[in-house]
Amino acid sequence: MNDHPYSFGRTGAVSTVETRNRVLRNTYWLLALSMIPTVLGAWVCLATGFWLFAATSPAMSMLAFFAIAFGFMFAIERTKNSSAGVFVLLGFTFFMGLMLSRILGFVLGFSNGPSLIMLAFGGTGVIFASMATIATVSKRDFSGLGKWLFMGVIVLLLASVANVFLHLPALMLTVSVMAIVIFSAYMLFDVQRVVNGGETNYITAALAIYLDLYNVFVNLLALLGIFGGNRN
């Protein structure tokens, strides 16, 4: 069997053209819907000032993030074949919105913070549109990227954890640039899986692509804040 509860949206079997189109359409609708709880979560955390705690306790915040995030992703995989999976995914995106508050609070400290956020949002949209278009129209098979991208994510995780303690600006910049490249490629990989019938469940497909979008946005925003932020 190809399906596995720990694959987080990157397994499945080959399907018919009709099924592929339905899965792709439902995936895009669910992705659009997931933006609502993400924005709501970020607003709640900024409004309550919880992001200040996250900024002062990065190690604890990272541990809590991994524990809760992987718990949500496990639950999504367990419920992906029922309507409950949609609500679990939306709960996960609300949580991810809460986790956005730290970077948003940092960027909003700049006089041009709102414009940087919109620029990062627009840039993420352009990257996704480009990767999705290539994945849809290209005859090339990008499935071979999977193992290399997974290895890249492992390196990113290790570097991110190390920098929590090392606080090296150069390492942080390197991680952000690598993350944008890796998760942009993952957009290509994940969308083509749906287009080619490799993923037949729109909930797990939406989960995989949402994580790609989220990581590109966060790291693009971090770079814009570092290089383009204007202090009041």
Closest CA to 108 of 95, 122, 99, 118: 118
Given a cut of 70, whether residue 122 has pLDDT beyond it is yes
Q: Where are the domains of the chain?
A: 17-228
- pLDDT for residue 8: 46
> What tokens appear for 97 in the block?
């919105």
pLDDT by residue (tens digit) across 179-202? 999 999 999 999 999 998 888 899
pLDDT more than 70, % of the chain: 88
**Please, which residues have CB within 8 angstroms of residue 128's CB and are 6 or more apart in sequence?**
187, 212, 213, 216
pLDDT mean across residues, the chain: 86
Counted residue by residue, the chain has a size of 232
CA distance linking residue 167 with residue 125, whole number of Å? 30
CA distance linking residue 225 with residue 179, whole number of Å? 16
pLDDT by residue (tens digit) across 128-183? 999 999 999 988 888 888 899 999 999 998 998 887 777 788 888 999 999 999 99
- Bridge partners for 231 per DSSP: 110
**pTM for the full model?**
0.86
Least confident interval from 40-44, 50-54, 68-72, 83-87: 50-54
Closest CA to 65 of 102, 109, 29, 18: 102
Q: Residue 59: which pLDDT band, with cuts at 50, 70 and 90?
A: low
Q: Residue 7: which pLDDT band, with cuts at 50, 70 and 90?
A: very low
Q: What are phi and psi of 109, to 5 degrees?
A: -75, -10
**Please, which residues have CB within 8 angstroms of residue 125's CB and are 6 or more apart in sequence?**
none
- pLDDT for residue 2: 37
- pLDDT for residue 13: 46
Given a cut of 70, whether residue 1 has pLDDT beyond it is no
SS (H, E, C) 151-188: HHHHHHHHHHHHHHHHCCHHHHHHHHHHHHHHHHHHHH
Q: Residue 14: which pLDDT band, with cuts at 50, 70 and 90?
A: very low
pLDDT by residue (tens digit) across 81-108? 999 999 999 999 999 998 888 788 889 8
Mean pLDDT of 114-137: 95
Given a cut of 80, whether residue 55 has pLDDT beyond it is no
Residue that the structure tokens 């339905």 belong to: 22
Amino acid at 168: L
Question: Does 31 or 19 have the greater pLDDT score?
Answer: 31
